[in-house]
Chain A
Amino acid sequence: MTMKQQEMIINKIKDTLVRAGSTFREDQKEIYRQAIKKETLPRAKWALETILEDAEVAEKNRSPLCDDTGIPHVFLEVGPNKSVTGADLEAIRMGVAEGLRELPGRPMGIKGDDKQRLDQSGGLDEDSAGVLPAPILIKQVEEDVLRAHVLMLGGGPAIRGITHRVFHKHSVSVVTDEIVKRASEAVALLGCSPCALSVGIGRSQFEATALMIEAMVYSDFTVQSDLEKEITDKVNESNVGPLGLKGATSVLATFMKVGPQRASGIRVVCLRPSCCFEPRMASVEL
């Protein structure tokens, strides 16, 4: 890799991370406009309007949507004639670090050895780039492209997220009812609703979580399958509302990815009640 190629990747990833942390996508803005129109409770409408106003200011200033700027997650799509080298991955890592400094990300990386990182006794890294990215996910795609998606995953949804098996009893509704039950409890406790429910269903905890990330990557608030819409509608019956203030809009959409399954009595479900700014995501071709 030449210096110029490395610099190109670093700059593209840096810019993509800043966009992910500061910008609502068009479908995200549209779903908020629709929710504001439908919401009848004045305080719920006010909360939605304030969140959308925040997104406008953040986009204009290229500044964080939320002070919990999140943990960077990178998802790579690799086409048939493309390759990813160790040098590419290093350039991506450097781009993430530069992006965190520019956003700026909240400096919340914990220093120290295993024990110090567990009990937080090692102190905080003052550098925003001390927040290291999660392991990169790579997906083989048919399109001949090398594309990076940068997601910024906040702490609130991580507290309320659940990855656990469901005994499906050979019934789709048993699985979806359990997702609705878990999501309703999680959304009520989150505080930063309305949510986008991100769901992955796989054969192991790893696969389910990877599928949950993939569901966010390919998400579109204005396109919902029957199952996704059913889950959204049922969780909205909980009447948690924006910021827990009651109202019709507890969940804006559901993004679900069902992976390959095996002959077994269980499905492993990863559920993340993504907060009112998520999925904070932007994409770039490298």
Chain B
Amino acid sequence: MKKIVTPITDEAINQIAVNDMVYLSGYIYTGRDAVLPKVLELIESNGLKEAGIDLQGSVIFHTAVSPAGVGPTSSNKLEIESSIPVLSKAGVKLHLGKGELSSKTIEELEKYNSVYAVIPPVTALLESKTLERKVVAFPELGMEALHLLKVDGFPAIIAAAHGKSLY
């Protein structure tokens, strides 16, 4: 198992390939279909800094954060998958979720040297590896707000990287 720590550099991305099983540690953002379009609006309006969001070398985990814990939702939902190119261009290095992505999205990931990883829906295990959590933006969305988690060793597998994919 390889280890990935945030913030993730371009050099670190160059070291990983499709089929690599990894442990992910550090601070990661969470967001799914309700909040990601709002983050895209912030990117467009240059509002990220004011909102306290730093996407350079970051990870976006496609999940809600509820009292039940976290777990991936399908990354190929329209609002989520369509956010991937814009977020990658803005600095996100790893998109964490589940399900197959389109070949177009995989090309976009390659263009910005970003990757996609699948994380099993193992909520109890992920809870045991989550050290901190807080709402960063859009608190009105409740469990679908943009959260920041500090995690230690989330298990994942690289499913799309450098123009290749598992699917």
Contacts and interface: CB of A to CB of B under 8 A. Distances in A.
A50 B69 contact: no
A20 interface: no
Interface stretch (A29-37, A103-111, A142-150, A168-176): A103-111
B12 interface: no
Contacts of A156: 74
B123 A65 contact: yes
A9 interface: no
29 contacts: A43-B157, A43-B166, A46-B157, A50-B122, A51-B120, A54-B122, A57-B127, A58-B123, A58-B124, A61-B124, A61-B127, A63-B124, A63-B127, A64-B69, A64-B123, A65-B123, A65-B124, A66-B122, A67-B64, A67-B70, A67-B121, A68-B121, A108-B66, A124-B142, A191-B74, A245-B166, A246-B166, A275-B121, A277-B121
B69 A46 contact: no
B66 A106 contact: yes
Contact of A245 (B122, B123, B157): B157
A-side interface size class: 35 or more
B124 A244 contact: no
A108 B128 CA distance: 23
B67 A106 contact: yes
Interface string B147-158: 000000001010
B98 A64 contact: no
Interface of B: 19, 21, 63-64, 66-72, 74, 98-100, 118, 120-125, 127-128, 142-143, 155, 157, 159, 166-167
A274 interface: no
Interface of A: 22, 42-43, 46-47, 50-51, 53-55, 57-58, 61, 63-69, 103-108, 124, 126, 128, 156, 191-192, 243-246, 275-277
A245 B66 CA distance: 27
Contacts of A128: 67-68
Contacts of B127: 57, 61, 63
A208 B124 CA distance: 33
Top 4 A-B pairs, shortest CB-CB distance? A54-B122, A58-B124, A67-B71, A106-B68
A107 B100 contact: no
A243 B125 contact: no
B66 A244 contact: no
Contact of B118 (A42, A243, A275): A243
A251 to B, nearest CB: 17
Given A43-B21, A245-B166, A192 B121 contact: yes
